[in-house]
């Protein structure tokens, strides 16, 4: 988890990111880095909850204290680009 956080995230008390955006970014990061044993959705969420506060809102779950470093992530497998909201 630490390499993903170092490469793709900013750790800041004022940062927040949607849970699904963090998961999608992690899946893309894992594919680009050739991880064969990437964390599944449940283990990924558990790992985040050990470090950050998770709160549910009407628009989904959010993690506080962590944000995505970049607004865009490209996926090696199909070249598509998705944009995520990062609030700091």
pTM (two decimals): 0.78
CA distance 39 to 51: 16
- Positive or negative, the CA dihedral 50, 13, 31, 85 is positive
> Which strand ranges, in their side-by-side order, compose the sheet holding 9-18?
53-57, 60-68, 9-18, 86-87
Contact 26, 82 (CB under 8 A): no
- Which residue ranges make up each domain of the chain? 2-87
CA distance 51 to 44: 11
2-87 belongs to which CATH class?
mainly alpha
Would you place residue 20 in the very low, low, confident or very high pLDDT band (cuts 50, 70, 90)? very high
Q: pLDDT by residue (tens digit) across 48-88?
A: 999 999 999 999 999 999 999 874 444 434 444 444 444 44
So what's the pLDDT on residue 36? 86
Instruction: Kindly state the tokens that stand for 26.
Output: 């992690």
- Mean pLDDT score of the chain: 84
So what's the pLDDT on residue 24? 94
């Amino acid at each position: 988890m630490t390499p993903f956080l170092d490469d793709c995230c900013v750790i800041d008390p004022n940062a927040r990111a949607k849970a699904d955006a963090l998961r999608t970014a992690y899946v893309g990061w894992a594919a680009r880095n050739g991880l064969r044993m990437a964390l599944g959705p449940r283990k990924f969420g558990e790992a985040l909850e050990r470090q950050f506060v998770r709160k549910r809102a009407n628009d989904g779950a959010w993690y506080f204290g962590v944000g995505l470093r970049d607004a865009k992530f490209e996926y090696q497998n199909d070249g598509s680009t998705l944009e995520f909201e990062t609030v700091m």
